[in-house]
Amino acid sequence: MARKLKGIAAARGVAIAPIVHFHTTLDHIPTWKVTAEGVDAERARLSGAIATVAKNLTDLQRELAGSLGKHDVRIYDAQLSILHDATFRRDVEAEVGQQQVNLEVALQRVIARYEGVFAAMENPAMRERAADLRDIGRQLVGALLASERQKYTADGIDYLFAADEFLPSDAGILDRAHIRGIVTAHGGKYSHGAILARSLGIPAVVGIEQIMLESATGGMAIVDGDAGLVVLDPSPEELAEYEQRLREQRAVDRRIAEVRFQPSVTPDGTHVHLFANAEGVRDLEALEVDAIAGIGLFRTEFAFMERRQFPSENEQVAMYRRAMEGAKGKPVTFRTLDVGGDKPLGYFRMPEERNPVLGWRGIRLCLDWPDILYTQMRAILRASALGHARILIPMVSARSEVVRCREVLQQLTTDLKATGVPFDPNIELGVMVEVPVLVHVLPDVLPVADFVSVGTNDLVQYLLAVDRDNQRVAKMYDPFHPGVLRVLKQIADAADTAGKSASICGEIAGDHWFTPILVGLGYTELSMAPVFLPRVKLMLRSFTKAECRQLAARAVAMQSTREVRRLVQEEIQPRWVRQLGSNEEARR
């Protein structure tokens, strides 16, 4: 009988194959007491193990360079930096000397302490860096024990990789010719393992704690990386449904190459501007700028989070200029520092808060520390001389916050003019709509803002009172809720009345099943992770603007999420399949 296990969608796509269990931990760690005379010998063993693991990682990085993007290959740079970190080495050596334990045990203890620090962080992306530490520890212990890791194979047949977690070093011993999907008990969508799965094009679902207990090696299973679902022992009907999706997936892949550089336009000529989201300058290196309208969301906080202190104005200018150059004259929307809540800075003391996601974060923090905002805005202005820049303010809840930011911007432009420093005189100031109350006061806010960008990730979880990173309630997080759709329409209508542009920059912008509804609600600017751009562009070619409006009107009038999803299933999905099929016939 079929069983469905819900997890977290980590890498898109569908895979059907027998599931095979792999155990990624070492079975036995030896323990012995180290005398004072033996400490130097353990230090020498550590040096040898570090050299061995560093060579293995460098070799793996070279091996995968052709399969991964430049940015994703640098995941191994992060591991190498941990490996060569002087503090890490001192802590391990101190553990050996002070506790008189052998190196293998010392490594386990130090890494466990480090993991505890990461586990306490609110930011999911930072929490998942603990997996890199575990991976380094496993590799070092393996090198110390001279144990050669076996390649993950299933005797030459296609298989689904099932394990407690998928770590970066596992990518080097995968049988990539036969692996079809990945499913793990632990991990998240921001983990380096998930990032590698996406880059390698392997569908993946993570965070299914019971996967190793409820599945059996050799049993047929389906990994649905779109829905975050694993189906064990699927029925013939379920197999047929997913095999159809696989055929569709292959058709999409063929069509992507054809439309990649074509305009993003509906059949009746309505242009929808597709932008890319970027977490840093490195994301732009692999981006096909000719295929997008610009950078709709540049998350500046990640550059701050990677440092040990606040970057200076000149350091920020250099970063923002690289972003402007990478965009090749197309607009770049820089979101001002959005830390606090789930994105803390290690070098900036934050108060203890019972609910940090609703606390001192985003523009609230920056207005209380105006030097941070002043420096960042000045840096963006200086970089804007290279093209068209836009400034986006996060976590806005009142007109007064926008007015204060506008005053800072005006003061800065006056100062730059007086000193002869070039900048874009047409720079725009926009508000990010993610706090529900802002929706109701948008008519008051829009006269002092130039544009609106809807951050649906937070907006939806605030509207539904659902933590989307909490596995217990994540299934309740559903942007297709009619109440969410009505709020999105209210935002688009308010922006249209004020003559201001409104865009979506949350995850739903990259969900092609959502595309016709968003266009019908009045959004003609969508910003998303680059990987989703081709599918969204394909979907735009399936519905006219009038059809999109009709679909959106019907969805908004519905009374349940189930009804809206049925509308998607019955009206949007068949048209998508027909569009792919008709183009396939044309190819023949």
Residue pLDDT, tens place only, 278-298: 877 777 776 788 889 999 999
Contact in structure between 164 and 193 (CB atoms under 8 Å): no
The pair of structure tokens assigned to 419 is 């000193």
540 vs 198 pLDDT, higher one:
540
**CATH code reported for the domain at 36-144:** 1.10.274.10
Residue 199 has pLDDT above 80, yes or no: no
- Residue 586 binned pLDDT confidence (cut-offs 50, 70, 90): very low
Q: What is the dihedral of CA 263, 266, 271, 275, to 10 degrees?
A: -60
Alpha carbons 300 and 322: distance in angstroms, whole number: 13
Q: What is the mean pLDDT of residues 476-488?
A: 93
Q: CATH topology for 300-433?
A: TIM Barrel (3.20.20)
Looking at the chain, which residues constitute the CATH 1.10.274.10 domain(s)? 36-144
**CA separation for the pair 17, 318 (Å, rounded):** 48
* Residues 117/102, Cβ–Cβ less than 8 Å: no
Q: Report percent pLDDT > 70 for the chain.
A: 87
Catalytic (active site) residue 84: no
pLDDT of residue 58: 86
Residues of the chain with CATH 3.20.20.60: 235-269+446-523+530-588, 300-433
The CATH number of domain 3-25+150-234 is 1.10.1040.10: no
What's the rounded mean pLDDT across residues 26-39?
Answer: 78
Q: Which of 366, 405, 505, 548 is catalytic?
A: 505
Q: What's the pLDDT score for residue 176?
A: 79
How do residues 310-361 score in pLDDT, each as one tens digit? 889 999 999 999 999 999 999 999 999 987 655 566 666 666 666 666 767 7
- How far apart (Å, rounded) are the C-alpha atoms in residues 339 and 360? 9
Instruction: Note the pLDDT of residue 149.
Output: 55
The chain-wide mean pLDDT, for the chain, equals: 86
Confidence of residue 584 (pLDDT cuts 50, 70, 90): very low
**Is 71's pLDDT higher than 60?**
no
Q: Quick check: 126 pLDDT over 70? A: no
Percentage of the chain surpassing pLDDT 90? 47
Q: Which residues pair with 220 in a beta bridge?
A: 18
pLDDT computed for residue 585 by the predictor:
43
- Residue 197 confidence class, pLDDT cut points 50, 70, 90: confident
pLDDT value for 175: 82
Give the pLDDT of residue 543. 94
Residue 260, pLDDT > 80, answer: no
At residue 298, the pLDDT reads: 93
**What is the per-residue pLDDT for 222?**
95
pLDDT at 216: 86
Q: Any idea what the Cα angle at residue 508 is, between residues 513 and 440, rounded to 5°?
A: 125
548 in active site = no
Token representation of residue 74: 């640098």
Angle subtended at Cα 137 by Cα 131 and Cα 141, rounded to the nearest 5 degrees: 145
pLDDT given at position 396? 95
Distance CA 291, CA 415 (A): 37
Q: Given this model, what pLDDT does residue 11 score?
A: 85
pLDDT digits (tens, 9 = 90+) for 135-161: 888 888 878 876 555 666 677 789 999
- Indicate if the alpha-carbon torsion angle 166, 172, 173, 176 is positive or negative: positive
Q: Which pair of structure tokens corresponds to residue 103?
A: 């190196």
Angle of helix 545-557 versus helix 482-498 axis, rounded to 10: 130
| Residue whose token pair is 């599945």 | 215
How much is the pLDDT for 427?
Answer: 96
Buried b (16+ CB within 10 A) or exposed e, 508-542: bbbbbbbbbbbbbbbbbbbbbbbebbbbbbbbbbb
C-alpha–C-alpha distance, residues 92 and 35, integer Å: 16
Mean pLDDT of 190-194: 74
Closest CA to 209 of 250, 165, 256: 165
Q: Give the model's confidence band at 588: pLDDT under 50 very low, under 70 low, under 90 confident, else very high.
A: very low
Distance of CA 304 to the CA centre of its chain: 17
CA 162 – CA 27 distance, rounded (Å): 18
CATH 3.50.30.10 maps onto the chain at 3-25+150-234
pLDDT digits (tens, 9 = 90+) for 463-481: 998 876 565 666 678 899 9
Q: What's the fold here for domain 235-269+446-523+530-588?
A: TIM Barrel (3.20.20)
Closest CA to 252 of 566, 532, 546, 17: 532
Q: How far is CA 3 from CA 223, 232, 334, 477, in A?
A: 12, 5, 45, 22
Reading the block at residue 181, the tokens are 């999907």
Active-site residue, selected from the candidate residues 186, 192, 481, 512: 192
* Average pLDDT, integer, range 419-431: 96
Interatomic CA distance for residues 299 and 286, integer angstroms = 17
